[in-house]
Chain A
Amino acid sequence: MKGWMGKFKVLSLLSLVALFLSACGMENLTALDPKGYGAEKSLDLIILPTVIMLFVLLIVMVIFTIALVRFRKKKGQEDFVPKQVEGNKTLETVWTVIPIILIIIIAVPTIIYTFKLADETEAKDSLNVTVTGNQYWWHFNYEGQEIQTSQDLYIPVGQKVYLNMKSSDVIHSLWVPTLSGKMDVNPENENTLYIEAYEEGVYWGKCAELCGPSHSLMDFKIVVVSQEEFDQWVADLQNFDPETQPETQTAVDGRALFEENNCIACHAVGSSPVQVGPNLTNFGERSKLAGVEEMTKDKLIEWLLDPESIKPGNNMTGKYPELSEEDAALIADYLLQLKPSEITTEDAGN
């Protein structure tokens, strides 16, 4: 019968399709093309057990196939009664001992790297960033640097950067697949995760713990730049004076509206520690609007008029007086010119 043959065809076809797709995961999002220490170690420990397990699967399938082909009931032997075997000590010992050995082979590196990835001995001498997870955005406070940003985290390449993470509301989980595995961001305690990027680039970050309706829209970026560029960026942000007059008149009017509508109560511009809503210091340099949308003036106006239509369940909706389209456009002009640094995502190599 074609039964089991069909099954194999389907399985092998699926594997081919899957392999093809695995090569196509998007660069800087996929975990299969790591560009950071954590992701690299994870991939090593994805590959080792996969290979061992595929070997086990192969053995199982070979025995399974031979058994099905050889021992199908044959025509004319309907009354054949097979020997009633109780068991076989040798065989049973073999398939108990071999898996134990295989598991030891997997367990040893697992333990070693579990400890390595949790190692915080170098934290004191490294860049530390306090990360706060919020429904549905991320806040970054560069410890001891007087820099606060949201959504885009700039870090230098080749350095260990320690993220000390806590949530302001529900549990989130910070995941940048290409740089590192994930770590939960709890309201109860501070979790530390370190990231060491090997290559410059803009890496996609995602929230991996269900946190409400807009859980799937809580994206952020890690922008990895060279050490010099990073130092420049730090200096630029530290020197940024939120009181500086914008250059265009529309932006000046926008700023007045920004203050009039009390946006400032939640959104800080500059290094103010206010973080009810995202810090807007370098808003004009953000790679995405609200984490997921194209950073255009039209989208921003749309957001200001009705944030709910873009991020359901966000905490901004209804917290400010209704805006006219003209006012929203002026505020947008103000926000989009907030570009304190020459270093942007463009400098991250892609």
Chain B
Amino acid sequence: MSIATTQNKSFTAALWDYLTTVDHKKIGKLYIYAGGFFFLLGGLEALIIRIQLIQPENNFISAGLYNEMITMHGTTMIFLAAMPLLLGLMNAVMPLQIGARDVAFPFVNSLGFWLFLFGGIMLNVSWLTGAPDAGWTAYSPLSTQSPGHGVDYYVLGLQISGAGTLMGGINFLVTIVNMRAPGMTYMRMPLFTWTTFVVSVLILFAFPALTVGLFLLMFDRMFDAAFFDVTLGGNGIIWQHLFWIFGHPEVYILILPAFGVFSEIFATFSKKRLFGYTAMVFATILIAFLGFMVWAHHMFTVGMGPVANSIFAVATMAIAVPTGIKIFNWLLTLWGGSITINSAMLWSLAFIPSFTIGGMTGVMLATSVADYQYHDSYFVVAHFHYVIVGGVVFGILAGLHYWWPLIFRRVLNEKLGKLAFWTFFIGFHLTFFIQHFLGLMGMPRRYWVFLDEQGLDTGNLISTIGAFFMAFGVIVFLINAFYSWFKEEPSPQDPWGGRTLEWAVKSPTPYYNFKQLPLVRGLDPLWIEKTEGNGKMTPAEPVGDIHMPNGSIIPFIMSLGFFIAGFGFIYHNDTNLAYILLFGGMAIALGSMLARSLKDDLGYHISKEELEREAD
């Protein structure tokens, strides 16, 4: 299969290609498409929330629908938008950064994506019959008592997509441990690869806590168990612990890859190596480690007592130290450099003040005595949007602008890029800065209406106006994506003067990535070759046959099986017909596993001759 034929395929052939692909670059694109779609959906839900809160005692949507809206907005943005978009960037970039031809388990990679997508679709199917309404945190007993099937969809949807994420994490871990190019030692890995590595560890340890919690919730709701039912001797606070033992590391699962993106961009556009690389690596590891020690700061008001509250308060404050180290290292990377400001850099630069404010309020929230006021108020809403929008979303957008040429072979239009940036950036601060004060003025979060004459009108109005600015920015970004695809010329191989290995591969990236694995001589290997060599990576091996995995439709079918079985679980208490779906779906899933296990798929080889023919 050569590149020429790839480009002339019919639509069905292209569709089949994506359904069966095990190529990390295509899976990366799938993650970006799907994550982008869910991002728009979550954004729409956010706008509906803000319209409801545009004036006091508004009646734009009903109270029940409002609770569904906030639940779906949070769940969608965290699990179906932010995580997949980051996994998309990791898939698209990380194997190239370490000089690998693919990830360690291409089949599992594809399976992870399809599980995520079907889980996400399952969650959103709930809109047809009533979406989950117990908040994205699904605290029991509200979640166990929630009528209808909304929370059932939440449980099954997250369980299926969570399994996909866990697979992704394990896959990246094995890839980074085993598949680095010759000379790519751990301490020469780019920061984005490092954060991918650390995040994969976090996924590996954090997601099982969520899985366990979701199983308990599922048994309580569907099989009359009473893990969280206090009247039968259960305890609902266990859910809060399980959820946050997952939920707090999840925050770092989101933010650390964004830190990785910024580290790459600051170095590239300052034309300087990352300041304090070693400190950056260890700060990342330390943040991840401490991230597991602080979950109960989400629970200061639960009544854990002063000892637990004090310990978790101090542990949380400690995280500010490695985070501060990172901020100052980025500043010193800029210092003394030769700074180019384009769209990717704008998003990264805007991250510094925005995220610093989010970090500040983080330390303030860690102060347990003050948290008794902040907790569950709009102050918290403001804080986590500063961290997640100002950190994660800015990081994703910066990363997309930066790696767009690598992934989609186009440089995004600068004018549109700047317009999108400024409207989104201004809108973001308009929306969320004021919310700090709304919270302190007595507005709790998740409020369907706020009352008249409580001094909350102006703040909420400003916040809603800001939300529309953000929406406008997102639309401009979308236009930019399509515009660049149809109007712009294909981009060169290395448009930014890159420093890391992903810019050393030909454009468009061959499906086998590297004809010969490169020899890495230090941190920023391409930069080293540019300044000390001939600008090209020295091959570490002669041209030889390349072993490639075969594509497979099995991951798609297996995920479809779980998807169908999910509906069986949800409706098995209502109708016996659901058992057809349950057993049918499980048969498809288990049958796919059997087929995969029994049929040896050894992949194929690209011959040396073919590689030489395709060269240059």
A61 touches B372 (CB 8 A): no
What CA separation (Å) do A26 and B452 show in the bound complex? 11
B141 touches A171 (CB 8 A): yes
What CA separation (Å) do A312 and B451 show in the bound complex? 16
Q: Out of B135, B353, B364, B440, which one reaches A22, CB within 8 Å? A: B440
What CA separation (Å) do A103 and B352 show in the bound complex? 21
Q: Nearest Cβ distance between residue B94 and chain A, in whole angstroms?
A: 24
- Residues of B within 8 Å of A182, CB to CB, are 301, 372-373, 375-376
- Residues of B within 8 Å of A180, CB to CB, are 372
Q: Decide: A68 near B459, CB < 8 A? Known: A183-B301, A215-B448.
A: no
Q: Out of B63, B314, B453, which one reaches A313, CB within 8 Å? A: B63
Q: Which of A247-271 contact B (CB under 8 A)?
A: none
Q: Decide: A68 near B63, CB < 8 A? Known: A173-B376, A188-B235, A216-B450.
A: no
A81 within 8 A of B: yes
Q: Nearest Cβ distance between residue B3 and chain A, in whole angstroms?
A: 33
Closest chain B residue to A19 by CB distance?
Answer: B437
- Residues of A within 8 Å of B363, CB to CB, are 49, 53, 103, 106
B276 within 8 A of A: yes
- Residues of A within 8 Å of B369, CB to CB, are 41-42, 45, 109-110, 113-114, 117, 181
Q: Decide: A209 near B313, CB < 8 A? Known: A45-B367, A85-B273.
A: no
What CA separation (Å) do A131 and B134 show in the bound complex? 24
B444 touches A208 (CB 8 A): yes
Per-residue contact bits, chain B 212-223, to A (CB 8 Å; 1 contact, 0 not): 000000000000
Q: Which of A89-130 contact B (CB under 8 A)?
A: 91-92, 95-96, 99-100, 103, 106-107, 109-111, 113-115, 117-118
A114 touches B327 (CB 8 A): no
- Residues of B within 8 Å of A191, CB to CB, are 303
A22 touches B441 (CB 8 A): yes
What CA separation (Å) do A156 and B98 show in the bound complex? 69
A92 touches B279 (CB 8 A): yes
Per-residue contact bits, chain B 432-464, to A (CB 8 Å; 1 contact, 0 not): 011011001110111111110111101100100
- Residues of B within 8 Å of A103, CB to CB, are 314, 317-318, 320-321, 363
A242 within 8 A of B: no
Closest chain A residue to B323 by CB distance?
Answer: A99
Closest chain B residue to A175 by CB distance?
Answer: B444
A107 touches B134 (CB 8 A): no
B442 touches A31 (CB 8 A): yes
**Chain B interface: which of A70-78, A140-148, A226-234, A321-329?**
A70-78
A39 within 8 A of B: yes
A32 within 8 A of B: yes
Interface size bucket, B side?
A: 35 or more
Closest chain A residue to B303 by CB distance?
Answer: A191
A32 touches B372 (CB 8 A): no
Total inter-chain residue pairs, C-beta < 8 Å: 324
A60 touches B352 (CB 8 A): yes
Closest chain A residue to B364 by CB distance?
Answer: A49
- Residues of B within 8 Å of A184, CB to CB, are 301-303
B340 within 8 A of A: yes
- Residues of A within 8 Å of B441, CB to CB, are 21-22, 25-26, 29-32, 177
A235 within 8 A of B: no
Per-residue contact bits, chain A 271-302, to B (CB 8 Å; 1 contact, 0 not): 00000000000000000000010000000000
A77 touches B306 (CB 8 A): no
A334 within 8 A of B: no
Q: Decide: A99 near B301, CB < 8 A? Known: A7-B425, A22-B441, A107-B313.
A: no
B377 touches A208 (CB 8 A): yes
Q: Nearest Cβ distance between residue A179 and chain B, in whole angstroms?
A: 11
- Residues of B within 8 Å of A211, CB to CB, are 142
B434 touches A73 (CB 8 A): no
Q: Which of B334-391 contact A (CB under 8 A)?
A: 334-341, 346, 349-350, 352-353, 356-357, 360-361, 363-364, 367-377
B341 touches A3 (CB 8 A): yes
Q: Nearest Cβ distance between residue B69 and chain A, in whole angstroms?
A: 12
A14 touches B429 (CB 8 A): yes
Q: Out of B66, B237, B271, B453, which one reaches A81, CB within 8 Å? A: B271
Q: Decide: A110 near B313, CB < 8 A? Known: A92-B279, A187-B236.
A: yes
A38 within 8 A of B: yes
What CA separation (Å) do A73 and B321 show in the bound complex? 31
B531 within 8 A of A: yes
What CA separation (Å) do A46 and B377 show in the bound complex? 14
What CA separation (Å) do A312 and B236 show in the bound complex? 25
Per-residue contact bits, chain A 158-174, to B (CB 8 Å; 1 contact, 0 not): 00000000000111010
What CA separation (Å) do A209 and B138 show in the bound complex? 11
A213 within 8 A of B: yes
A87 within 8 A of B: yes
B604 within 8 A of A: no
B340 touches A110 (CB 8 A): no
B603 within 8 A of A: no
Q: Nearest Cβ distance between residue A9 and chain B, in whole angstroms?
A: 10
Q: Nearest Cβ distance between residue A307 and chain B, in whole angstroms?
A: 13
B426 touches A10 (CB 8 A): yes
- Residues of B within 8 Å of A15, CB to CB, are 433
Closest chain A residue to B65 by CB distance?
Answer: A213
Q: Out of B271, B373, B458, which one reaches A39, CB within 8 Å? A: B373
Q: Which of B85-130 contact A (CB under 8 A)?
A: none
Closest chain B residue to A79 by CB distance?
Answer: B338
Closest chain A residue to B309 by CB distance?
Answer: A114
- Residues of A within 8 Å of B546, CB to CB, are none
- Residues of A within 8 Å of B271, CB to CB, are 80-82
* Most chain A CB atoms below 10 A, which of B63, B142, B338, B442: B442
Q: Nearest Cβ distance between residue A343 and chain B, in whole angstroms?
A: 25
A206 within 8 A of B: yes
A5 within 8 A of B: no
A187 touches B63 (CB 8 A): no
What CA separation (Å) do A46 and B236 show in the bound complex? 31
Q: Out of A3, A32, A86, A189, which one reaches B277, CB within 8 Å? A: A86
- Residues of A within 8 Å of B133, CB to CB, are 213
B278 within 8 A of A: yes
Q: Out of B273, B306, B317, B449, which one reaches A114, CB within 8 Å? A: B306
What CA separation (Å) do A296 and B361 show in the bound complex? 43
Q: Decide: A60 near B353, CB < 8 A? Known: A25-B440, A96-B321.
A: yes
B67 touches A210 (CB 8 A): yes
B145 within 8 A of A: yes
B16 within 8 A of A: no
B302 touches A186 (CB 8 A): yes
- Residues of B within 8 Å of A83, CB to CB, are 272, 336
Closest chain B residue to A74 by CB distance?
Answer: B338
Per-residue contact bits, chain A 202-228, to B (CB 8 Å; 1 contact, 0 not): 001011111111111101000000000
Q: Out of B337, B422, B433, which one reaches A14, CB within 8 Å? A: B433
B507 within 8 A of A: no
- Residues of A within 8 Å of B313, CB to CB, are 107, 110-111, 114
Q: Nearest Cβ distance between residue A145 and chain B, in whole angstroms?
A: 25
B62 within 8 A of A: yes
A82 touches B142 (CB 8 A): no
A245 within 8 A of B: no
B270 within 8 A of A: yes
A110 touches B440 (CB 8 A): no
Q: Nearest Cβ distance between residue A265 and chain B, in whole angstroms?
A: 21
Q: Which 4 A-B pairs have the closest CB atoms?
A: A181-B372, A25-B441, A213-B63, A216-B447
Q: List 11 interface pairs A-B (beta carbons < 8 Å), by A numbering.
A: A29-B442, A31-B441, A53-B363, A60-B328, A63-B335, A106-B363, A171-B139, A181-B369, A183-B301, A215-B446, A312-B64
